[in-house]
Chains A and B, each alone.
Chain A
Amino acid sequence: MALWKPDPTFYASPREAVKAPPETLAYVAAFDRAAAKPDAIAVLDVDPASDSYGSVVGWTELPNLGDELHHFGWNACSSALCPYAPHPHVERRYLIVPGLRSSRVYILDTKDDPKKPGIVKTVEPEELAARAGYSRPHTVHCGPEGLYLTNLGGADGADGPGGIALLDHTSFEVLGRWEVDRGPQHLAYDAWWHIAHDVLITSEWGTPSMVEDGVVGELLLGRKYGHALHFWDLRKRTHVQTVDLGDEHQMVLELRPAHDPTKLYGFAGVVVSVEDLSASVWLWHRDGDRWAARKVITIPAEPADADDLPPVIKPFGAVPPLVTDIDLSVDDKWLYVSCWGTGELKRYDVSDPFHPVEAGSVRIGGIVRRTPHPAAPDLPLAGGPQMVEVSRDGRRVYVTNSLYGAWDDQFYPDGVGAWMAKLDSTSDGFAFDERFFPHGDDFRGLRPHQTRLQGGDASSDSYCYP
């Protein structure tokens, strides 16, 4: 049903969005690696004034097994205010929840009972395959003409290419493949845009056969995983330019464009360099009339005793940082970088995006360190900071610890566990909130992945006005 006033969670500009009230609920995708129990959307109380603060207060189980929930997104966001096709009276109420392994997409309604969202529609893998030619749906973004859903795999047995499917944002039907001309891109992962410039950016991970059973050493050392950024004409849906970061930089994952619509730059995280196991963050920007990218952050591997390492990295005698997620605050000032291998969450001041300055770091988990959370100092933690989400006002940062089922098992073979943490981030400090540490049985044996905050967060909305 249409509203009479714009949805109050829509903001015309990032400057206004940072004034949004603090979120009170967080939605977290949780999956069962064994596929013996249904995956679920966990609802967490993130209101510090509440008695149940920091605990799971809602739990919506899915009707199938083995979906492997991963990323998800909202049906509508601030892009509904964009001037060329405004529709601000739709509601932000549905979560679009893809199963990365099953290729099913669930639509959950959070309106009637925000703590117990109900499933209102399921898009079956057959519909995604028949209409768009894709499988393994991954990232969801709400655009002005529909929902953009990136996919890792092709359909009907084809491993690739992956790409973007467009979904109707009222009926949630798959409208079709988004690309008119995909150019040379074959490996897919993330997509986001400079919406006010009609530019879309995509990144590269691997096809389903390259990732679903874990990282494949020969492919990695053979530099076969993705190592490029792609730039597109958002209107014409055509590939414009490839920017190759160099094939030693394997797996270009999360894309975080500046929220300020007048700016044309953004950050991309690279998981690992096969030359020295370092991880890196790259800045894409305009260079004359072309796109360019440069490495602005390098995070070195940490030497370690081979006995402390899992088989997958034992030969290297070092822990790779494995930058698996990054997130940019809505004011474009702070960049958070997850080092899932070494168990560190770094914060950078990126006011000058070409010259990030490290401005804080916390340790938790890690392949060797197993740093505990300050709330439970005797409990060594597996996994590391992985999916990172930032509140709209930039003051709160949430992290979860699972990367992807098969990969968790490779890097944390004695069990990745399950935990979520929250950090308070101000210009003066960056530290754990000791009151917020859901872990272990709180997640009922499931592994937590992406977090979405009620009303929107730093990676959910895009803005058409500065």
Chain B
Amino acid sequence: MTEGSLAALVALGAFHGLNPGMGWLFAVARGLQERSRALLLQSLPAIAAGHAASVGAVAVLVSLTRSVTTTRVVAIVGGAVLVGFGLWRLLSQRHFRWVGMRLSLWQLACWSFLMSSVHGAGLMLLPVLTGMPAPGGHDHGLHGGGALSAGIFVTGVHTLAMFAVAGAVAVAVYEFLGLTVLRRAWLNLDQIWALALVAAGTATLLTA
């Protein structure tokens, strides 16, 4: 793993964490509803766990696929999927639908998993995943286990960054900023997100 791809992983994690739709806002709402910062703090790991599961599934899948076929094939197929998915996100007016605010922590983790999955959070990591040294190669000598651990490593770094940023934003909004900030600062991240997916797909294809 190069320093560049590590930085990209952290940056993408921060981007995901910043998105109110990915969970910090839900944590704030739960805290406000019960006037309980403890509930807010409890919610964050569940949200991060759901996100990690979603991203991890993609990361491990890509890593394992790379261990049985060439990186180039993975990059081209994955990149094409990513560009298509990003364009669909960009043009579609549909948004994630869910009803229900009174969730257990387990349900909250499931919610986060679904939210991350339909937004293609894991897919966005594709250029990083395909840009890494091929698993099972001469440098590690780890074979299939190397692919798995690479996927887990990527997921872990990404999720930590996501968790840190989401947590910081949630606590800041809950403690100091208040929800008024939403009206001013809530950019349409869905649009930016979709563009990021297209960009990630394009980058993957170009470097394939």
Contact = CB atoms under 8 A, between A and B. Distances in A.
A88 B191 contact: no
Nearest to A197: B102
Interface string B85-116: 00000000111111111110000000100000
Given A83-B25, A86-B21, A4 B191 contact: yes
A465 B182 CA distance: 12
Interface in B160-198: 179-180, 182-184, 186-188, 190-191
A5 B187 contact: yes
Interface string A379-397: 0000000000000000000
Interface residues of A: mostly helix, strand, loop or mixed?
Answer: loop
B97 A145 contact: yes
Given A81-B182, A170-B93, A197 B187 contact: no
A89 interface: yes
Contacts of A66: none
B98 A85 contact: yes
Most-contacted residue by chain B among A8, A85, A143, A466 (CB, 10 A): A85
A84 B33 contact: no
B191 A16 contact: no
Contact residue range for chain A? 35 or more
Nearest to B191: A2
A465 B99 contact: no
B156 interface: no
Interface string A1-27: 011111010111100100000000000
Given A4-B188, A262-B33, A466-B33, A85 B96 contact: yes
B99 A234 contact: yes
Nearest to A233: B100
Interface of A: 2-6, 8, 10-13, 16, 81-89, 143-146, 170, 195-198, 234-235, 261-262, 464-466
29 contacts: A2-B190, A3-B188, A4-B187, A4-B191, A5-B186, A6-B182, A8-B183, A12-B179, A12-B183, A16-B180, A16-B183, A83-B26, A83-B29, A83-B101, A84-B101, A85-B98, A85-B99, A144-B99, A196-B101, A197-B102, A198-B99, A198-B100, A198-B101, A234-B99, A235-B100, A262-B33, A464-B101, A466-B32, A466-B33
